[in-house]
Structure 1
């Protein structure tokens, strides 16, 4: 059953990924012990098998404590399945005569063997093309007479093909970035509904990429295809190699009292083992105690988790934290410069007459507020990355300067997002207290919407608080990934519980803005939970056969690759419609929380809610400039609500209020329905009617008499409130 399933999986994978190479080959560069107290160790192991000329080139340098005649047994494992087993008697094999009578001391072997055609026929052609070949050669050495086991070594085999491809990383990064840019442009053009949908999906896609990267950073051994696949998304965690940045990180570490590692520059003398799934072997533990000073000749180093990710990216382990930190700072700087450049570009195009004066008006007039909101969103995007790296740095302590940076960054980001979240909750609670609807103030004030909207626009108005559970989810997940690098089983169990909690939460509460967005995020949560279960299997907590782990590694890659492709296409299509459609809002139904009636847009006011939204935003002659609930003028301690309303009536707070009072969308003296007469409708919507005055946050003072005469206020409908 399992062999047939394995064969089918391999054939499917090979058909889906037809990699090509100028020359077929199978090679290995690391020989690792697979037995405690092994009597043979190698610090240099390079073997290359080329089927075109049937040659096997190898170079081995090691140390042996074995004496006397020995026998060797070779075993080939493919995805955990024992494909070949053969006895090798050095005394009967001319190529291995040097090992017939072994003596303690250093061993150096260098040769070029000619492989016979019958051996060649036993190697399937798929072995040369399948990406991230999960194959291993294991050699057990025992005494010829007593059969006493003396040594066990194993070598991972590779054919040079991998699913870890730079084009994949570039494509995923560009599409995720395109979604965020498209949402910003669409919002500037006045299509707030489309912008909210595209931004929500783009942020969820980016979160899925970060989740894949975090799975690759976990400490449990991973099948080669899983480690390679998750490596494609490490750019989302700032793990990107740039030569001069590595030099800068090394300089900073030395300048602040640290000592950089030198593993990448000592590969000729140090055997590096990138930890993979062990095939039923006893736990060997950390074979080498590493230090920041680097490695000495004959040393063997095992990389796992974040170290494994950094080594695959060709980044020294002591530079991983600084690399992620530097890229986060560069990201913030580039975004800031991009917004400023776009502001000046818009002004130049308007002056040149190549852009209409009413395009991007809100951005051009309030670009500084928009920039603040964008920077807050960038902090939210970088939150998982910096939390994992900062927690991990606290366990490594590469230098005192880096530890200080980690603590400062971690505390700052947590405080900023916690304060922003509390700000949103306070605004929403005030809106509920005044208007029985959180959407009223959350969406009516452009300044607050531009600055804090990144925390709540993806959720329905009644679930404005759901950003708090999301932040807790990210923080706890980052803590386990960053702090528990020494125990992959603990990480796996914790991730299963964390992902299960999120999946249950989003499935039961459905907090996102509409059915499609809820489905989008529920699917991501479900796939993340499934991936966490796979990681639990990879940790070998169930002690399953190697073939099970090998097949599950291939399945992990296939379903995540297919799902990522679907998500990418969805975001790409929605971004295309947003950018190239004349009125992209027609693709989306209005939100049931009536946010569209409060958000400033370019559409005509056609409903009572629209008129109310215009009044709340301060549009029209004699209206207040804004709702006045920004952080700089929002203080519950300085004035009570009644004091602020009285001060507004007496002429205080003149920076927010004009002499003429705002217009009410409802005539308090009219209790019927709007008629078909334009003049009557004009009176109904408050154009010619007596108007009550607003309080500081745009509340209707004479709202209560009208509510008493009318059981249900129109702006409560669709917000999740039944009265």
Structure 2
């Protein structure tokens, strides 16, 4: 059976399901009403958030919600903001698609002959209403704008003094994001990718218990390769970057399950209780959504996400106007996905621990079923039960080592992220302990592997005997190295180092976005080159697929990050 085809087919299936899925999820009654209108008109354009694109802007937007229904010919708008200007101004509008400015227009507001805008006066702006747009104006809007998923369309509004004809000094700058409510995020893709990956993991356990060594070896390779690809993709969303393409963000959401960051009321409740019990109040940032616009932020000089709170006074927390909440990396992800920043670590650990429990339950269920079948007449051919009986506890430990190696990258990522979070001291201790245990266990397994190989080399003149013939050693550690050639048993150490370096590079972006991205690219490039040079797997096709998957990841990082640098999406 050509197992390599299974890997390629699965990755292609992931891509197809992910890229062509559509899922629209809204929570408020107002948004549901808008979706009902959109269902009648099929198409819509919506502006739901704004951000300041300069410091000390004289125009700020507290709340912005505007929806255009082209087939109905209506524009609904609700704008709440503040102006500190008292002069005549020129408005410049810049429309950007995927980071590239395509249209730039300027207009003298006095030429509109509208009261209140010539000149502008300090005060509050509060505008609500519905506007009927002529059909000939709507027809000028390109049709693809209404159908492209995760439309990355932004409009910058810049104000200049009326006498500044060369537009040299900006008085205000506000940027709004335009969406058509179509996305590649798909709840079915989310669970299908999770089910397929976990099913392959369980299939490898089944093959191991029945003694299908070669099948188990190929499935081991498949599991490691798929999880490395999925986890590596999911981690990109936790990079500390000023802007990541909205389509890329939505695409990556389909893989977030691999990091354990699955929203669940029960898990969130447990995490809330734990944080409360350790003397830190779990503030859900989204609870403040009715008081502040969660998307109202500015890009400061250090490229962090800052949420300005004018004043929030509830029974739980009071934030004064001078306070700025900063969210970076994993905590920015927690803010945007309605997690509590201080317990994303707890949520992820609970989910990953649940996966370990599921694998152990499945392993024991298979072993019990084999014990039952062996007692059935005419089933005496199942002689492998003797190996299971002699090495039952070792096989349990082997599966724990395997799952730990698979889950090591997300453990590193969320643990290091927790080191930079001012939350409960107990959570910090938990992060240190869990990270240390995971790292020490894997290093211990690597140490035992090297000691066994050296002993075999010294006694028998080859590493093959003790590594691949010793039943007890194979039962306990075999799942970590059986997929490697005997001459490349040391590749396990490379996998552990790679599993640490990649998430650690992403964590580095908390302090310097460009440095973290560069370290991530270099790590992936070195690993791919080493896998091509040493060809560590037992099958030539395994090596080809392994290099292909990681080579694609390198190209992905190159085009995604370095081309974004050219379009000024990535700044130091």
Q: TM-score range by the shorter chain?
A: 0.7 to 0.9
Match in the other structure for 2:258: 236
CA distance in 1, matches of 2:203, 2:477: 19
Q: Using a 3 Å threshold, how does the CA distance of structure 1 residues 210 and 115 change in structure 2: closer, same or farther? A: same
CA distance in 2, matches of 1:35, 1:372: 56
CA distance in 2, matches of 1:520, 1:93: 63
Residue of 376, 380, 396 corresponding to 2:401: 376
Which shifted more, 69-78 or 227-236?
Answer: 69-78
1:142 aligned counterpart, secondary structure = strand
8 A Cα contact 1:377 1:454, kept in partner: yes
Match in the other structure for 1:164: 185
Residue of 106, 123, 135 corresponding to 2:153: 135
Trace 1:403-442 onto structure 2 (pairs within 5 A): 403-442=428-467
Match in the other structure for 2:501: 476
CA distance in 1, matches of 2:61, 2:520: 36
1:512 aligned counterpart, secondary structure = coil
Match in the other structure for 2:352: 328
1:424-452 Cα shifts (integer Å, max 9, x gaps): 11111111122222121112122321210
Match in the other structure for 2:172: 151
Match in the other structure for 2:365: 341
8 A Cα contact 1:260 1:318, kept in partner: yes
Residue of 51, 54, 66 corresponding to 2:73: 54
Deviation at 1:76, TM superposition (A): 1.9
8 A Cα contact 1:135 1:156, kept in partner: yes
CA distance in 2, matches of 1:432, 1:33: 65
8 A Cα contact 1:421 1:467, kept in partner: yes
Residue of 60, 65, 73 corresponding to 2:92: 73
Pair 1:63 & 2:82 matched: yes
Match in the other structure for 1:197: 218
Residue of 100, 109, 113 corresponding to 2:127: 109
Deviation at 1:364, TM superposition (A): 5.2
Q: Using a 3 Å threshold, how does the CA distance of structure 1 residues 193 and 346 change in structure 2: closer, same or farther? A: closer
Pair 1:449 & 2:474 matched: yes
Match in the other structure for 1:563: none
Deviation at 1:118, TM superposition (A): 2.9
CA distance in 2, matches of 1:286, 1:253: 24
Residue of 317, 323, 328 corresponding to 2:341: 317
Q: Using a 3 Å threshold, how does the CA distance of structure 1 residues 378 and 402 change in structure 2: closer, same or farther? A: same
Match in the other structure for 1:561: none
Trace 1:300-315 onto structure 2 (pairs within 5 A): 304-315=328-339
CA distance in 2, matches of 1:417, 1:130: 45
1:119-164 Cα shifts (integer Å, max 9, x gaps): 2122111111111111011111223344553111010111111222
Trace 1:350-389 onto structure 2 (pairs within 5 A): 350-351=374-375, 358=382, 361=385, 362-363=387-388, 366-389=391-414
8 A Cα contact 1:266 1:295, kept in partner: no
1:155 aligned counterpart, secondary structure = strand
2:159 aligned counterpart, secondary structure = strand
Match in the other structure for 2:555: 530
Q: Using a 3 Å threshold, how does the CA distance of structure 1 residues 430 and 274 change in structure 2: closer, same or farther? A: farther
Trace 1:510-589 onto structure 2 (pairs within 5 A): 510-537=535-562, 540=565, 544-545=566-567
Deviation at 1:258, TM superposition (A): 1.9
8 A Cα contact 1:460 1:512, kept in partner: yes
Match in the other structure for 2:290: 268
Pair 1:42 & 2:67 matched: no
Q: Using a 3 Å threshold, how does the CA distance of structure 1 residues 313 and 139 change in structure 2: closer, same or farther? A: same
What is the RMSD computed on CA atoms of the aligned residues? Answer: 3.0
CA distance in 1, matches of 2:408, 2:218: 22
CA distance in 1, matches of 2:85, 2:538: 69
Structure 1 residues without counterparts, runs of 5 or longer = 1-12, 551-723
2:510 aligned counterpart, secondary structure = coil
Match in the other structure for 1:28: 47
1:314-353 Cα shifts (integer Å, max 9, x gaps): 3222221111111122222222223233333443455566
Deviation at 1:404, TM superposition (A): 0.6
1:351-395 Cα shifts (integer Å, max 9, x gaps): 566966717613355433211111111111111011111111111
Trace 1:653-668 onto structure 2 (pairs within 5 A): none
- Corresponding residue pairs, total: 527
Residue of 491, 504, 515 corresponding to 2:516: 491
Q: Using a 3 Å threshold, how does the CA distance of structure 1 residues 365 and 274 change in structure 2: closer, same or farther? A: farther
Pair 1:504 & 2:529 matched: yes
Match in the other structure for 2:232: 211
Match in the other structure for 1:574: none
Deviation at 1:522, TM superposition (A): 0.9
Structure 2 residues without counterparts, runs of 5 or longer = 1-15, 24-37
Residue of 138, 145, 156 corresponding to 1:120: 138
Residue of 251, 263, 267 corresponding to 1:245: 267
CA distance in 1, matches of 2:380, 2:336: 50
1:102 aligned counterpart, secondary structure = coil
Which shifted more, 416-425 or 80-89?
Answer: 80-89
CA distance in 1, matches of 2:381, 2:296: 59
Structure with greater proportional strand content? 2
1:384 aligned counterpart, secondary structure = helix
1:29 aligned counterpart, secondary structure = strand
Please give the TM-score of this superposition, normalised by the length of structure 1: 0.68
Match in the other structure for 2:33: none
2:85 aligned counterpart, secondary structure = coil
Which shifted more, 322-331 or 354-363?
Answer: 354-363
1:137 aligned counterpart, secondary structure = strand
